[in-house]
């Protein structure tokens, strides 16, 4: 009888690759972010990526930053982590202790939302805004709320 295949990818890699796949749907020309929420039984609950509200035509949209807040994408885009939570059709109770895999470290608004949804762990790929005020607030929120975070990398 042949033995089982041992050379399989880890759960971390599996969920992070799902987050990366979600990020490929993002229309943001500068930063594409994907998120995948996995529960404590290693089941994917939801995925999301950064984009406009679905009723807002993303063809007719200022995909840049601007001094005028009316024309700055940051005021319109829903972040990947928020979309992953909003896309979930089950009970929020299922997110208790779940892990969010995200391709970019969460901003402070997402950190608050993740905490409130019951997420217990953040696993991230990139932290390109590390050390910025927003990033420090985000880490402060996660630390104070007992949400752990760790960085992983994906081999090419
Ligand atoms: N954890 C994050 C951080 C950012 N985003 C989104 C929001 C914007 O669409 C983009 C950031 O744009 P940038 O300021 O780098 O031009 O990424 C997110 O979804 N989740
Ligand atoms: Zn965010």
The CATH number linked to 22 is: 3.40.140.10
Q: How confident is the model at residue 16 (pLDDT cuts 50, 70, 90)?
A: very high
Answer whether residue 156 is part of any domain.
no
Q: How confident is the model at residue 153 (pLDDT cuts 50, 70, 90)?
A: very high
pLDDT of 59 higher than 90: no
Q: How confident is the model at residue 2 (pLDDT cuts 50, 70, 90)?
A: confident
How far is ligand 2, taken at its centre, from the CA of residue 59, in Å?
22
Answer whether residue 32 is part of any domain.
yes
pLDDT of 130 higher than 90: yes
| Radius of gyration of the chain measured on its C-alpha atoms | 16
Number of domains the chain contains: 1
Rounded Cα gap, residues 10 and 16, in angstroms: 10
In the chain, what percentage of residues exceed pLDDT 90? 94
Question: Tokens 């807040």 correspond to what residue?
Answer: 69
Answer whether residue 36 is part of any domain.
yes
What is the Cβ-side half-sphere exposure of residue 94, based on CA atoms within 13 angstroms? 14
Answer whether residue 5 is part of any domain.
no
Predicted TM-score (pTM) of the model is 0.96
Q: Give the dihedral sign, CA 125/85/130/139.
A: negative
Q: Kindly report the number of other CB atoms within 10 A of residue 144's CB atom.
A: 9
Instruction: Give residue-wise pLDDT tens across range 73-100.
Output: 999 999 999 999 999 999 999 999 999 9
Closest CA to 81 of 99, 67, 66: 99
Answer whether residue 6 is part of any domain.
no
Instruction: Please compute the mean of the pLDDT values over residues 59-82 and round it to a whole number.
Output: 93
Q: Which of 6, 13, 81, 109 is catalytic?
A: 81
How far is ligand 1, taken at its centre, from the CA of residue 153, in Å?
19
pLDDT of 1 higher than 90: no
33 — alpha (psi -120 to 50), left (phi > 0) or beta? beta
How far is ligand 2, taken at its centre, from the CA of residue 68, in Å?
21
Contact between residue 100 and residue 36 where contact means Cβ atoms under 8 Å apart: yes
Answer whether residue 107 is part of any domain.
yes
In the chain, what percentage of residues exceed pLDDT 70? 99
* Domain interval for residue 134: 11-151
Q: Which of 22, 26, 28, 122 to mutate to test the pocket of ligand 1 (most atoms within 8 A of CB)?
A: 28
Answer whether residue 119 is part of any domain.
yes
DSSP one-letter string for 51-62: B--TTS-TTSS-
Contact between residue 15 and residue 36 where contact means Cβ atoms under 8 Å apart: yes
71 annotated to bind ligand: no
Q: Is 50 in the pocket of ligand 1 (CB under 6 A)?
A: yes
Answer whether residue 4 is part of any domain.
no
Structure-block tokens of residue 101: 């895999």
133 flagged as catalytic:
no
């Amino acid at each position: 009888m042949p033995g089982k295949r041992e050379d399989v990818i880890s759960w971390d890699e599996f969920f992070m690759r799902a987050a990366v796949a979600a990020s490929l749907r993002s229309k943001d020309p500068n930063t594409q972010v994907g998120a995948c929420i996995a529960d404590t039984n290693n089941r994917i609950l939801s995925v999301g990526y950064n984009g406009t509200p679905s009723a807002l035509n993303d063809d007719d949209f200022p995909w840049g930053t601007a001094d005028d807040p009316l024309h700055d994408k940051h005021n319109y885009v829903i972040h990947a982590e928020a979309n992953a939570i909003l896309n979930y059709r089950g009970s929020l109770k299922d997110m208790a202790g779940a892990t969010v895999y995200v391709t970019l470290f969460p901003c402070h608004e997402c950190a608050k939302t993740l905490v409130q949804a019951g997420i217990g762990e953040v696993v991230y790929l990139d932290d390109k805004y590390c050390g910025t005020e927003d990033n420090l607030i985000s880490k402060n929120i996660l630390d104070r709320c007992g949400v752990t975070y760790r960085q992983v990398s994906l081999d090419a």
